A and B are shown apart, each in its own frame.
Chain A
């Protein structure tokens, strides 16, 4: 009895299984995850360590994250020192086949300290401000970095990734134009934010951040700093306080009550608040909330 038909069926089944196997990707944040999903399409499955509602500066290293990374083929980092916690997770995963790509490669980094940096300056990032994904033009760079990383580990699907990248670039460039047009009304708007997460968004929208609720990055607000900030806001007529949802609203509300300003929850990442479900809707939400707050300025 010949086994040839059975072997052929088995071979075809194995080949189809291999063809159907998706590339497992883990990202540090939901923003990178959202872009990676656009580039990889159904060829990849992506999981993010943070949920968008977490402060990405402080992530506890959990064994479940290590297990997640142990099964992955690619880890996509934010870089610039923000996800320093990714190192122990990657080491703990024991994954010798893992490729690690830093999505900040090629980004024009803002606020890079020129002199020595120490802890007296607060939680400052020696490599520059790491919140670069909040300029959608950097989203294009992130997408290209992800595409290169995917092609590197899965060259068989290079054509698909390239096509998806072009589609993503086209869509994002179109949206960038729309957002810039919508942001014309915001040009020159001065705001105060809780943490220094917004220089990239400010550059994109033409908004100027003139003060922070934190006296220094990562340092809790003090009474004297709040008093100074209130004076500054009154003297410059600032009426918008932007706050990431994971920070306490006690100090911003106190400042708002003394200055007549509005506290606006600004999602710094995909999934941080309702409506910001992917990289595109993140900017839709940010623009809508800022525009709404600006319109209500008397």
Chain B
């Protein structure tokens, strides 16, 4: 019988390993490290290793020695390739993180679209491969990493450590690169959405990937009757948020906060309200501050495991000074941008769902003007989220567009790895 009290709460698997198995794992690790060092020092024909290992004034190796090093190198790497997986095999059920790979393949078609979107093209696009890893670091903390691999290269979407427990006032502290909880949707990854694409307001205000930044998050959880109140605050820099630089070295610090209230209505219905605010000092010559606000709402009714209705709505407003114009000091003008997104997603069978969306954004700064999108979407999940085919039909229009344009996206999502529980 194992009662894990206090500090022993999390690392159940590792703590219950028999000592012999731990010793095996340790010895494999040591052997692997020795092999890596030896093989690296034997890479043939690399002058810097002469310098590193033998000093700058040493004589070059003789012919025999070079041949010997070549063979050592050639023989050691295959051995390494065997040893490392063996080590991983031992530790798969112990301390290795849960690894998941999520592939997002798309066939997209655009009609009357502006050049920036894709004109009248039809394309196959392996949009992104997302790799996630997460596990407990110790009984008090865990770490999570999400890498996004796409045509643009490898992007560290998230890499953070969370201090889970042991702090007063039910506090949790998260530090690293993470999706800032400014609104509900920004914290989610696109593969969680039936409507395929990130809402316009997040793209316009924060860039294509939304608001992910390096910083510090402190949150607390409290109960209000049967409801759960979550209060959260962030200090961060970087990310590509409105009116600031994406480069953390150039960006000013930003602060944001969110309060959300989750209310269980019945055994099958829940709703959540959230309010977020963000402020930062501007990095451009106009000076002043950018302030932003966000309101979000989600309602979910799930009477059984085969059907559900999810309605969500999120609105955003941002205000900043820009150089030029006559208003305010220094000829700066205060401009306001707004955005709104709403969707209704109905699951009418274990494997099928369908819904509709409204997407709106008005941003006078960045030259996009006003844009409104409406769309319908449908999805087929072969077995839960492991293999999903999604379809999005969408029309966008606005004064900045010469004419309305249509988008069709057929998406294939697959998920390789352990099941993850669904979060509300």
A and B are partners in one complex rather than unrelated chains: yes
- B95 interfacial contact with A, CB 8 Å: no
* Alpha-carbon distance between A97 and B351 when the two chains are bound, in angstroms: 41
Compute the total of residue contacts between A and B using a CB distance below 8 Å.
118
Cβ of A90 and Cβ of B9 under 8 Å apart?
A: yes
* A153 B5 Cβ-Cβ under 8 A: yes
Which residue of chain A has the shortest Cβ distance to B226 in the bound complex? A64
Chain B residues 313 to 358 lying within 8 A of chain A, measured CB to CB, are 350-351
Quick check: A55 and B305 within 8 Å, CB to CB?
yes
B264 touches A62 (CB 8 A): yes
Q: Does B421 contact A (CB under 8 A)?
A: yes
**What's the Cα separation between A90 and B312 when bound, in Å?**
27
CB <8 Å contact, B221 and A70: yes
B187 within 8 A of A: no
**Interface pair A96/B165, CB less than 8 Å apart:** yes
Which chain B residues in 96-139 approach chain A with CB under 8 Å?
Answer: none
Number of interface residues of B (CB under 8 A): 47
Asked if B203 is an interface residue, CB under 8 A from chain A, the answer is no
Contact with B along A233-252 (1 / 0, CB 8 A): 00000000000001110000
In this complex, what residue of A is CB-closest to B5? A99
Residue among A62, A71, A247, A248 having the largest count of chain B Cβ atoms under 10 Å: A62
Which residue on A lies nearest to B93, using beta carbons? A126
Pairwise interchain contact A91-B142, C-beta atoms closer than 8 A: yes
Q: Which of B55-63, B166-174, B364-372 contacts A (4 or more CB under 8 A)?
A: B166-174
Whether the pair B1, A220 counts as a contact (CB closer than 8 A) is: no
The residue that A64 contacts in the complex, of B10, B166, B262, B304, with Cβ under 8 A, is: B262
In-complex Cβ contact of A67 among B4, B9, B10, B223 (8 A): B223
Judge whether B422 and A148 touch: CB under 8 Å. no
> Which B residue's beta carbon lies closest to that of A150?
B3
Complex contact A66–B421 (CB within 8 A): no
B267 an interface residue at 8 Å Cβ cutoff?
A: yes
Residues from chain B with Cβ under 8 Å of A64 in the complex: 226-228, 262, 264, 270
A92 at the interface (CB under 8 A from B): yes
Given A51-B267, A67-B221, A71-B223: A60 and B3 within 8 A (CB)?
Answer: no
- B424 close to A63 (CB less than 8 A): yes
Beta-carbon contact of A246 and B305 below 8 Å: yes
Complex interface residues of chain B between 209 and 230 (CB less than 8 A to chain A): 220-223, 226-228, 230
Interface residue ranges of B284-327 to A (CB < 8 Å): 302, 304-306
Tell whether, in the assembled complex, residue A59 and residue B221 are in contact, meaning their CB atoms are under 8 Å apart. Answer: no
Q: Which residue from B2, B3, B6, B383 sits with its C-beta under 8 Å from A97?
A: B6
Q: Would A220 and B350 count as touching, CB distance under 8 A? A: yes
CB of A219 within 8 Å of the partner chain: yes
Is B419 in contact with chain A by the CB < 8 A criterion?
Answer: yes
Which of B165, B222, B272 has most chain A Cβ within 10 Å? B165
- When the two chains form the complex, which single residue of A60, A96, A218 contacts B421, counting CB atoms closer than 8 Å? A60
Q: A99-B4, A145-B1 are in contact. Are A70 and B270 (CB under 8 A)?
A: no
Q: Which of B139-193 contact A (CB under 8 A)?
A: 140, 142, 164-167, 170-172
Q: Is A106 an interface residue (CB 8 A)?
A: yes
Q: Which of A54-91 contact B (CB under 8 A)?
A: 54-55, 58-64, 66-67, 70-71, 84-85, 87-88, 90-91
A111 contacts the other chain (CB 8 A): no
Q: Is there contact, CB below 8 Å, between A94 and B422?
A: no
| Shortest distance from the beta carbon of B373 to any chain A beta carbon, whole Å | 29
How far, in angstroms, from A70 to B418 measured CA to CA in the complex? 26
Binary flags per residue of A140-159, CB closer than 8 Å to B gives 1, else 0: 00001100110011000000
CB pair A101–B1 under 8 Å, yes or no, is yes
- Evaluate contact between B422 and A61: CB separation under 8 angstroms: yes
- Nearest Cβ on chain B to A126's Cβ, whole angstroms: 9
**Measured CA separation A64–B223 after assembly (Å):** 8
Please provide the chain B residues from 196 to 252 with a CB less than 8 Å away from any CB of chain A in the complex.
220-223, 226-228, 230
CB nearest to A86 among chain B residues: B421
Of B3, B304, B422, the residue contacting A152 (CB under 8 A) is B3
Given the interface contacts A61-B423, A88-B421, does A219 sit within 8 Å of B171 by beta carbon? no
Give CA–CA (A153, B140) in the complex, Å.
20
Q: Is A95 an interface residue (CB 8 A)?
A: yes
| In the A-B complex, the 9 residue pairs with the closest CB atoms | A63-B228, A85-B421, A96-B165, A63-B262, A96-B166, A99-B5, A67-B223, A67-B228, A152-B3
11 A–B contacts from the bound complex (CB under 8 Å):
A61-B422, A64-B228, A94-B165, A94-B221, A98-B165, A99-B5, A100-B4, A100-B9, A123-B419, A145-B1, A248-B350
